[in-house]
Structure 1
């Protein structure tokens, strides 16, 4: 939450022997009692809710159809949830999602507590995009890191929020505020590969906060994740409980610093990660989600009094050691306000867990004061984002609300600021199309590359190769390169597209510009002679257009590495001026 900032010089973590101190900045937020008064003024009275209605508000449930079938309706009527998370099984296209969210809200209004559902989705951009068909292809947040601008992060957040709001989604389980570290994000297949903004905690905090502010501008709740930080984990919490063995001072200056910076934005929701930090909770091996020590740090040490949301509770880090009901009750007692079910929890198991939570309140295993505190925060979140009333969206106008053309242009502008020139030792950039013959070689499936470059240089020579290049492609590229003075080749995902790598290797290195379309870490697979390398951080139409505009000097090269790549440190990027010309 936003507000006057104050200095927290210490948080006493009660250990087996002694105290551990922690210092840093954090925002001041309204106390739970103040938020309750706020609800009263708006006609949302906690005392009017039954126990079952209060407990239901603490859960984001999972449904199993794309059209809200009878089984889903029965589940909503039985458990009166605070919200729903949409997974791929619920998603077809933009119009269908709009119809589904309309149906969800209508059903909740008929059987629930009279406040709209929180409808959430994972729409990080890049490798994690639940909403695809009919939506903008949002880039990996590494691109936001490459641009390095809070304004650009805000613009991406606005566009994300507008598209989610256009289909009735009001909560985005993003952005990732974990730091990039080689342990968890430097190799394909790792859980955070291409999902992190930067290795710089200050930059992560600034840009993640900017994205949350942008989404909020569109009336969508952005959720920072995965506190206290998944970046240093070497295990995947989907499978097991990661042990993050960092010293306390390392945690303070890295992961916690990033979240602390993001909390200076309008952020009112944070997701916990299922991972154990011995430095923060040394006495008990347990996930941060279930740790009073870690959530006490978040509340008291960092001043965050917004909503704490769990990562999906059906992940291996939880279920390998705990029953689902036991874990949920422990998480609520530790300070969690909103529990998320993942895609693998059956309707019946969801009923059992929620009923177990009701019984835990009745028996005193969960104090009523803790329940009321959590419900108060969840209701206050709706008030803060104007989600206390709902009206149906016109499914037939979904495409108009999505603003896809405007968002494409906005993403091009951000991508232009992110394109990073790693090296220009041969002085090949910007391309001199007036005095040199330029050849552009690209995967033929990406017509935006040819259209964008040809729009700048109508005289360019070009060749579109099949995604897995054939012998015919190699022969054609060789001939083209012999007739050009400068060659530009676009490639991506070289860890699996080895024939694309061989195609790049076949070109004369002293005359070749290699554009890595998706992962900056593809640099490490390039042969040493290919020294003129350009990064775009993702392979979407917006980055294809931006790459051509930077290559030809239509716009200056401004991007800088958000994390180390090979010998290049964070912040590296050859800054090239804009070429003077009539474009």
Structure 2
């Protein structure tokens, strides 16, 4: 039985999802998920394995040494654009981090179970290079004593967090999808995004965000979340998971037990979530329950303290009551639990780097992501088994789940990429068209008090200003394509007083001003810029290209759109709305509070249409 029958049935109730099944044709070889559909992988919560699958997993497990099994638990990064890279800077970085020169040596020395890709590690230059790197990594693993394929992972959330850039298809992010309210569109992002990832050899994606963003000041989640409504987040997360996993990529619901109500970034501190157990059940739990019902392959833990769930003060990543008691036993999840990065400050407050991986395993984690020192972490787990702090049976339980995920993906049958898929799928025209269509359903018109929109032909001279050189250039280009005579003045996150004055002076010579803002509430200089532009008497259109909350920090704004994303498709959609080519269909997936953080400036669900 296919692994996601229940979710597919639910989604098929909407016409949009039925169309999506036909609108994104397959290219190249059969999808890995389809090829292994004979293996039952999910039955309600958790996973149930038939005798054939169990036998294959146990046969592999019996052939593995303890060192190989411990290596399977680790997922880390490695510098370089090939498995055997000899670039001096990459070699030096790898030696500092791992004591090896390249990915091949890392796999040989530590038997790691997975590699995670980043641009800053020089892994992601172009699709052909990424596919070759993936194949080189898998080739290295294939020549081991026990040739277990690797999980190759990345964070391709879309919107403001993505790793594989153009020419790969860029979708708007989660909050934009929340504004669109369409589960079919969420599934499309997973299906297309997953097919392009799998084409370049990425088989595990650390997405979607299942956190419910109920704190507008959240510094780490924000627009990465689908919104503030648990039901909306649950339905869209489940739909996106369904898309990813049908594309042959393991989705990852994150960050359990819920990172949406915090003003502290767990990269730099240890957040404490003060939700009661009842609040957790009502607000944070529904998306994770939906993810489990959807058969999600992996769930990522959060480096957050939730006293109502575990009063010990340990972050969830190191909490047995949360990972085992709550996620495994109460929610019935038996898939892979992957930690958030073990380099982050949120998990390193109370314990050493040798203690943390052992504590995470004791809590119930399976994959240990990005330990700060691979040698220290690897040796610590081996020593814990030798000392009896961890049993080999405990290691086997995690390795079993990891192997099951790899078998379900079809990696043991075919771990390599198909060159024809790289050219046929990555950035394919029909993928780009689908991304634009999705984006066109997400733009939200929050305010248009003077009925400026749609723009009339008389608005020929336009100043495009605000945050982001790429953003302002994209907006200016789209406006020029429609006949405008544009002037660009990019001002950055925190423009100086001189830059504000210069930009306002330029605005006086124009018919219209379009200004892009990005987290204006955190950057008062953007408020000064918008106020100066408004003082010129020219019509000013504000486009919030990240947080929709910006308008609370911009008093006097008369025309305001939210795109939730500065992806090119999102900016194109905004200009289409400006010109009346499409109606703004997005509705706020969050409440916008007043400037002081209290009251309601614009309610959840608010959204205007234009007169065009």
Q: TM-score, normalised by structure 1?
A: 0.83
Aligned equivalents of 1:473, 1:259: Cα separation in 2 = 47
Aligned equivalents of 1:244, 1:122: Cα separation in 2 = 24
1:66 maps to what in 2?
Answer: 81
Aligned equivalents of 2:439, 2:189: Cα separation in 1 = 10
Aligned equivalents of 1:80, 1:426: Cα separation in 2 = 64
- Shift in Å at residue 202 of structure 1? 1.1
- SS state of the match for residue 121, structure 2? helix
- Shift in Å at residue 321 of structure 1? 1.2
- SS state of the match for residue 75, structure 2? strand
Correspondences of 1:189-268 after superposition (within 5 Å): 190-268=219-297
User: Is 1:546–2:547 an aligned residue pair?
Assistant: no
Q: How many residues align?
A: 535
1:477 maps to what in 2?
Answer: 507
Aligned equivalents of 1:44, 1:549: Cα separation in 2 = 57
- SS state of the match for residue 422, structure 1? strand
- Shift in Å at residue 532 of structure 1? 2.2
Q: Pick from 111, 114, 117: which aligns with 2:150?
A: 117
Q: Deviations 1:515-540 (Å, cap 9, x if unpaired)?
A: 33333222123232x22211111223
Aligned equivalents of 1:113, 1:501: Cα separation in 2 = 61
- SS state of the match for residue 230, structure 1? coil
1:515 maps to what in 2?
Answer: 543
2:589 maps to what in 1?
Answer: 562
Aligned equivalents of 2:407, 2:131: Cα separation in 1 = 22
Correspondences of 1:426-465 after superposition (within 5 Å): 426-433=450-457, 437=459, 440-443=462-465, 446-453=472-479, 455=481, 457-458=482-483, 460=484, 462-465=486-489
Aligned equivalents of 1:144, 1:480: Cα separation in 2 = 34
Equivalent pair of 2:168/2:427 in contact (CA under 8 Å): no
Equivalent pair of 2:166/2:427 in contact (CA under 8 Å): no
2:53 maps to what in 1?
Answer: 38
User: Is 1:75–2:106 an aligned residue pair?
Assistant: yes
Task: Call closer, same or farther: CA 1:74–1:454 in 2, change over 3 Å.
Answer: closer
- Shift in Å at residue 134 of structure 1? 4.3
Equivalent pair of 1:92/1:133 in contact (CA under 8 Å): no
2:125 maps to what in 1?
Answer: 93
Structure 1: gaps (5+ residues): 6-25, 482-486
Structure 2: gaps (5+ residues): 8-42, 86-99, 493-498, 594-600
Aligned equivalents of 1:152, 1:120: Cα separation in 2 = 23
Task: Call closer, same or farther: CA 1:534–1:40 in 2, change over 3 Å.
Answer: same
Q: Deviations 1:166-208 (Å, cap 9, x if unpaired)?
A: 22111111222112133652xxxx2224322211111111112
Task: Call closer, same or farther: CA 1:290–1:403 in 2, change over 3 Å.
Answer: same
Q: Pick from 7, 28, 32: which aligns with 2:45?
A: 28
Aligned equivalents of 1:232, 1:470: Cα separation in 2 = 34
Correspondences of 1:410-429 after superposition (within 5 Å): 410-429=434-453
Q: Deviations 1:118-139 (Å, cap 9, x if unpaired)?
A: 0111222233223336434443
1:23 maps to what in 2?
Answer: none
Aligned equivalents of 1:61, 1:36: Cα separation in 2 = 32
Task: Call closer, same or farther: CA 1:366–1:61 in 2, change over 3 Å.
Answer: same
- SS state of the match for residue 213, structure 1? helix
Equivalent pair of 1:124/1:140 in contact (CA under 8 Å): yes
Equivalent pair of 1:308/1:336 in contact (CA under 8 Å): yes
- SS state of the match for residue 158, structure 1? helix
Instruction: State the superposition RMSD in angstroms.
Output: 2.9
Aligned equivalents of 1:261, 1:391: Cα separation in 2 = 29
Q: Pick from 362, 377, 381: which aligns with 2:401?
A: 377
Task: Call closer, same or farther: CA 1:464–1:63 in 2, change over 3 Å.
Answer: closer
User: Is 1:102–2:135 an aligned residue pair?
Assistant: yes
2:605 maps to what in 1?
Answer: 571
- Shift in Å at residue 440 of structure 1? 4.0
